Amino acid sequence: MGQDSAPRPYLSIVLTGRNDGYGGDFVKRFLASLQFNHRELSGRGVSHEFVLVEWAPVAGAPLLADLVEARCPPPVSAALRTVVVDAAYHEAMTLNPLLRFHEYLAKNVGVRRARGEYILVSNCDVILGRHILAQLERRSLEPQVVYRAPRRDLVAALDIEHLHWEALEDQANLARPGKQLRPPYFRGSTGDFIALDQMSFHRLRAFNEIYRLARVGVDANLLVLALSSGLTIVDIGGPVYHIDHEGSFQTLKAKYVAGESDAQHGHERWNFNSVVYRNRPQWGLSDAPEEPRGPRRTYLQFSWDAVPPLVDLSGVVLPARREDGSSSTSADA
């Protein structure tokens, strides 16, 4: 992937998306968040890169990467690397034909290729809060610690193109009361903020690639694996912000409550709290042939050699701590 010779940033922010109009004007929300986060990180001297994984682009539609790069100011574009993943990977890997977007397979592609000392896995419309930015500015993150942040949902009516701290931090703009993260897993909108040092992320082999039937719970499943692998999970101490939109999990959850099997997010009640996983060493489509398409863009060409087996039951394991009562981990094996 490009930019391998560039200095290693302190932080890689892994994001995923595609131009499918998810949640209304996805591109607008993405650009607003991207620019805000870039401005705030740069202002604090936090060296960073954004790794955007465009998973299974919609045939016939412009690439999200093109739309973003075209509308991004040059400094933001310079911090953005994109990995476009051939749509055939989605078809080859999915175990749930109803799932349109394998968010965490996409995030794994980004995690695998992120160069930062620390990797933050987040979403395109998530805005980093002031406390988090301060922590990053102080470079106070520690290895082998999974950092979580609570999410504050803001009302959809907020002017996303003119974001400022007063609007973000105004309690009156909260769409619903914020939830407190609770130990041991500090779950809750987990996919919006998981930060971990690169080495530990690689040691865990990132998100579950064995159970490819759901989007829901895959993020929490990583926390179960992390804890059973001896990592520490903490609340970083301040929130991220997210502006409400149509099609978010919160709104879809109510829609599909009667017919979960039809839900676009896949099964909601699978055993992500009690069963963990062991991805193959080639997780994150590491064997996929990479085709450079510009200085900051890579295209992952489809190859069956890079596709994990449809079924890999040996990768379904119990948390090591529960298995034998010790704190040793399956991920250490």
Catalog residues that contact other proteins under the rule CB under 8 A: 94-97, 210-213, 267, 270-271, 274-275, 310-311, 313, 316-318, 322-323
Compare residues 232 and 274 and give the one whose CB is closer to other proteins: 274
Minimum distance from residue 312 beta carbon to other proteins (Å): 8
Q: C-beta of 299: minimal distance to other proteins in Å?
A: 24
CB of 296 to other proteins, least distance (A): 34
Q: Which is nearer to other proteins, 110 or 308 (CB)?
A: 308
What are the tokens at 187?
């779950």
Apex CA 113: angle with CA 109 and CA 116, to 5°? 130
Beta carbon nearer to other proteins, 25 or 91? 91
Taking 3-state DSSP, the helix, strand and coil percentages for the chain, each rounded to the nearest 5, stand at 35, 20, 50
Looking at the Cβ atoms of 108 and 200, the one nearer to other proteins is 108
Nearest residue (CB) to other proteins, 270 versus 302? 270
Q: How many CB atoms lie within 10 A of CB 183?
A: 10
Helix (H, G, I), strand (E, B) or coil at 118: strand
User: Nearest approach, Cβ of 318 to other proteins (angstroms)?
Assistant: 5
Whichever of 240 and 317 has its CB closer to other proteins, that residue is 317
Picking from 238, 246, 226, 26, the residue whose alpha carbon sits closest to that of residue 151 is: 238
Closest approach of other proteins to the CB of residue 316, in Å: 5
Pair 83, 2: CB distance under 8 Å: no
Q: Which two tokens stand for residue 131?
A: 């406390």
Read out DSSP for 222-266? HHHHHHHTT-EEEE-SS-EEEE--TT-HHHHHHHTSS-GGG-TTB
* CB of residue 266 to other proteins, shortest distance in Å: 9
Rounded to a whole number of angstroms, the minimum distance from the CB of residue 201 to other proteins is: 23
| Residues 152/179, Cβ–Cβ less than 8 Å | no
Q: How far is CA 101 from CA 16, 17, 95, 96, 330, in A?
A: 10, 9, 12, 10, 28
Contact between 174 and 155 (Cβ < 8 Å): yes
| Minimum distance, C-beta of residue 293 to other proteins, in the bound complex (Å) | 29
Query: Closer to other proteins at the Cβ: 108 or 189?
Result: 108
**H/E run at residue 61:** none
Cβ neighbour number for residue 333 with a 10 Å cutoff: 8
Q: Six-digit token pair at 35?
A: 């620019």
Nearer to other proteins by Cβ, of 27 and 275: the residue is 275
